[in-house]
Amino acid sequence: MADIIQPRVLKGFRDFLPAAEMERAELVEILERIFRLSGFVPIDTPVLEYAEVLLGKAGGETEKQVYRFTDHGGRDVAMRFDLTVPFARFMAEHASELYLPFKRYHVAKVWRGENTQRGRYREFVQCDFDVVGVDCAGADFDVLQTIHAAVSALGAGGFRIRINHRGVFNRFLEAIGLSGRSVEILRIVDKLEKIGADETERLLAELAGGEAARTVMEYVTPGGGFESDLARMTSLAGGPNPDSERLAELFAAARDAGFSDALVLDPSITRGLDYYTGVVFETTLDGLPEIGSVCSGGRYNDLASLYTKQKLPGVGASVGMDRLLAALEAMGKARSASSWTRALVLNVEDGFLGRYAALAARLRAAGIATEIYPERRKLGQQFAYAERKGIGMAIILGQAEAERGVMVLKDLAGRSQAEYSSIEALAAALAQAEGSAR
């Protein structure tokens, strides 16, 4: 016999055991339900692509992290490291088969050979949704409303969608004569929340002098609410302009749609330096702000310039799946049961397999997840199985019950039991028990 191979996964990679995978599946289902209700359609792209196609735009850091190799046919291939680059390639390749505006979502794994010391994973699920092909407030708002609906549906309590507009900030820098330093200033401002106002101002002063630093701090420090902040920012940026009007329009729409409370203007948000060109946004949970943004994105002015001359402006967001799962767990909202099964048919009589199966089929048809313990064993063993799987109810049907025309339903936690003479009555009792357990 051969030696045993040690079963282990690569560093930065994870198995998902049932409870964790159910949690993830249920999160994805909630998100997908919202996407579908809002008119987003799913696509899928290959995990492996030509390295040239995936890495055309990537800079040093990204390229170093990509899993890249030579395949059997001598092709230089790479595993996708995000869902944006494949989406851009997809839009360019299928332009003639698609229509605009195109609203897609994509939930799939991506890989990055990152340093795992910071608790990062090398394999993780991304969840992106975008509206491509138009540059208008309606598309920006579509994404904002979808974020609002999705995060609301998670039941993770209150949250804020913090929004900003790169264009207004650029106009402001121009107005104060600092547009030549915008990259450095954005980089400093981006750290405001982490390093605090004093340190931010100190760094800004170092870069551009004390007066400019004070003006930038005035610009990026939120004050009395969306409209007054927008008025101050607009004024500092030299007066009303299409970008400030876009922000005003989005706020008005959020007010009419009933969620302007959740929409916060935050002039310190910058979200990366070279991709986004319009609105940018982040979403933080009130109950867990320290976890960071659980859904971020913004508007870009050209998705697929690497692959096509057709200009494709768009707006989109990415849900931070691992962060959200961690947040739900930290908030005690993660699921505890390790199966969806509601009832276990105990195996107490030889030759009853078909009867058990018929009973289970009827209960499943009524929407009650039911399983049958596969063989006749001691009841203690069958109960232990139910407990491990979080199954609360057991059904007993042996020769004695069959002769009396009944089935016994046993509440494994409450230790109570009752007899039913029809499957309909049994199903009704189980449906009720399920309802009360929630």
Interface of this chain with a copy of itself, residues 195 to 224, rule: CB under 8 A: none
Which residue do the tokens 């929340």 mark?
193
Nearer to a copy of itself, 318 or 347 (CB): 347
Shortest gap between Cβ of 334 and a copy of itself (angstroms)?
Answer: 15
Site for a copy of itself in 253-272 (CB under 8 A): 253-258
Nearer to a copy of itself, 50 or 420 (CB): 50
- Choose among 174, 233, 178: nearest CA to 207: 178
When computed from its CA atoms, the radius of gyration of the chain, rounded to whole angstroms, is 28
Nearer to a copy of itself, 351 or 435 (CB): 351
Instruction: Draw the binding track, 299-338, toward a copy of itself (x: CB under 8 A; -: no contact).
Output: -----x-xxxx----------------------------x
Shortest gap between Cβ of 104 and a copy of itself (angstroms)?
Answer: 7
Span interacting with a copy of itself, options 128-136, 197-205, 226-234, 278-286, rule CB under 8 A: 128-136
By CB under 8 A, tell whether 18 contacts a copy of itself.
yes
Nearer to a copy of itself, 136 or 406 (CB): 136
Site for a copy of itself in 267-306 (CB under 8 A): 304, 306
Q: Are strands 407-411 and 393-396 parallel, antiparallel or unpaired?
A: antiparallel
Q: Figure out which of the listed residues 128, 142, 201, 282 binds a copy of itself, where binding follows CB under 8 A.
A: 142
130: tokens are 């975008």
Q: Figure out which of the listed residues 205, 207, 248, 252 binds a copy of itself, where binding follows CB under 8 A.
A: 252
User: What is d(CA 250, CA 386) in angstroms, rounded to the nearest whole number?
Assistant: 51
Site for a copy of itself in 375-394 (CB under 8 A): 375, 384-385, 388-389
User: What is d(CA 144, CA 321) in angstroms, rounded to the nearest whole number?
Assistant: 18
Q: Figure out which of the listed residues 195, 197, 273, 358 binds a copy of itself, where binding follows CB under 8 A.
A: 358
96: tokens are 């003639």
Q: What is the dihedral of CA 217, 222, 226, 229, to 10 degrees?
A: -40
Shortest gap between Cβ of 204 and a copy of itself (angstroms)?
Answer: 34
Shortest gap between Cβ of 402 and a copy of itself (angstroms)?
Answer: 12
By CB under 8 A, tell whether 225 contacts a copy of itself.
no
Q: Total residues contacting a copy of itself (rule CB under 8 A)?
A: 114
Q: Figure out which of the listed residues 357, 400, 418, 437 binds a copy of itself, where binding follows CB under 8 A.
A: 357
Nearer to a copy of itself, 2 or 413 (CB): 2
Nearer to a copy of itself, 55 or 203 (CB): 55
CA atoms within 13 A on the CB side of 21: 7
Q: Give 321-325 contacts, CB < 8 A, sequence gap 24+.
A: 321/24, 321/27, 321/28, 321/124, 321/125, 321/126, 321/127, 322/121, 322/124, 322/125, 323/291, 323/292, 323/293, 323/294, 324/27, 324/154, 324/156, 324/294, 325/20, 325/23, 325/24, 325/27
Q: Give 422-428 contacts, CB < 8 A, sequence gap 24+.
A: 423/359, 423/362, 423/363, 426/363, 426/395, 427/362, 427/363, 427/366, 427/368
Q: Figure out which of the listed residues 27, 31, 84, 90 binds a copy of itself, where binding follows CB under 8 A.
A: 90
Shortest gap between Cβ of 404 and a copy of itself (angstroms)?
Answer: 19
Shortest gap between Cβ of 262 and a copy of itself (angstroms)?
Answer: 13
Q: Compute φ and ψ for 47, nearest 5 degrees.
A: -70, -40
Shortest gap between Cβ of 18 and a copy of itself (angstroms)?
Answer: 4
Q: Figure out which of the listed residues 339, 406, 419, 431 binds a copy of itself, where binding follows CB under 8 A.
A: 339
User: What is d(CA 38, CA 26) in angstroms, rounded to the nearest whole number?
Assistant: 19
User: What is d(CA 219, CA 182) in angstroms, rounded to the nearest whole number?
Assistant: 14
User: What is d(CA 136, CA 263) in angstroms, rounded to the nearest whole number?
Assistant: 18
By CB under 8 A, tell whether 361 contacts a copy of itself.
yes
